[in-house]
Amino acid sequence: MTNIHPTAIIETGAELGENVTVGPYSIVGAQVKLGDGVRLESHVVIGGDTTVGANTHIFPFASIGLQPQDLKFKGEPSRLEIGFNNVIREHVTMNPGTEGGGLLTRVGNNCLFMVGAHIAHDCQIEDHVILVNNATLAGHVTVGEFAIIGGLSAVHQFVRIGKHAMLGGMSGVESDVIPYGTVTGNRAHLSGLNLVGLKRRGVDRETIHALRNAYRLLFAQEGTMAERLQDVAEMFKDNEPVMDIIRFIEGNGSRAICQPKMEDAA
């Protein structure tokens, strides 16, 4: 059964799964699809061609799926796909894609978006990601699984955030962040590995030790980055987390790789 408050507006064409709750004064647009067990608190607005996965919980005053904040957008049909088991807190905004980004913004599963977080057009967010209060992603940003974006941080368009990365609060990030890395500052610099996150997720000491050694070698001052990449890839070819970093750096990102300060690379 669904539970629709009398003051809610469900436009003709919207599709609601089983056990959906729509709270007071919420609006669900004609192209919206809500999966089983989705819960909308009061004053939630969901529009556009938007799919919300099962058991996602959306809090008051969230604005989901409305027109992207991109002057190039001319009303082309685009989508927002949100996975299951997400928590989307008050005043969160998520926009659909644009023609320049494949017409799709995608959010994975089991994510937490705290108060005031913003997901711009064409972002690609993997599973178990956390955006802390007022964290902001510009257009075309990709965020790997288990990454955490600190409060009041801002990520430049087209930046890639690797899996298990940690962005410190109030960071301004304009370069790609390696998997397992930690960045802080304005403009942000790489300040080491996300050791706390690795330990919390049960990564063994041997793997963490290998990651630390690989990090030091990758960001040493000797040789070129290409030479260091080749050396580290050969030395740690059987270590999957290290190879995650190698593949990320060798990937096709359009931004530079975020670098440590000289003293942090030692």
Catalytic residue (one of 48, 83, 108, 139) = 139
Confidence check: pLDDT of 262 > 90: no
Answer whether 108's CB lies under 8 Å from 82's CB. no
- Span of 7-11, 63-67, 206-210, 249-253 with lowest mean pLDDT: 249-253
| Cα 30 from chain centre | 27
pLDDT tens-digit profile of 223-232?
999 999 999 9
Q: 176 an active-site residue? A: no
Catalytic residue (one of 43, 118, 121, 189) = 121
Nearest alpha carbon to residue 141 among 157, 127, 153: 157
Among 194, 220, 239, the domain boundary falls at 194
Confidence check: pLDDT of 263 > 70: no
The pLDDT assigned to 266 comes to 44
Confidence check: pLDDT of 151 > 50: yes
Q: 139 an active-site residue? A: yes
The pLDDT assigned to 43 comes to 98
Q: Domain containing 235 — which CATH number?
A: 1.20.1180.10
Asked if residue 116 and residue 37 are part of one domain, the reply reads yes
Instruction: Tell me the backbone φ, ψ of residue 90, rounded to 5 degrees.
Output: -60, 140
Q: Which residue has the higher pLDDT, 266 or 138?
A: 138
Count structural domains, the chain: 2
Q: Is the dihedral of CA 251, 257, 260, 265 positive or negative?
A: positive
pLDDT tens-digit profile of 85-129?
999 999 999 999 999 999 999 999 999 999 999 999 999 999 999
Q: 219: domain range?
A: 199-264
Confidence check: pLDDT of 265 > 60: no
Asked if residue 225 and residue 143 are part of one domain, the reply reads no
Confidence check: pLDDT of 162 > 90: yes
Catalytic residue (one of 49, 70, 122, 244) = 122
pLDDT tens-digit profile of 38-88?
999 999 999 999 999 999 999 999 999 999 999 999 999 999 999 999 999
Q: 121 an active-site residue? A: yes
Can you tell me the mean pLDDT for 13-20?
A: 98
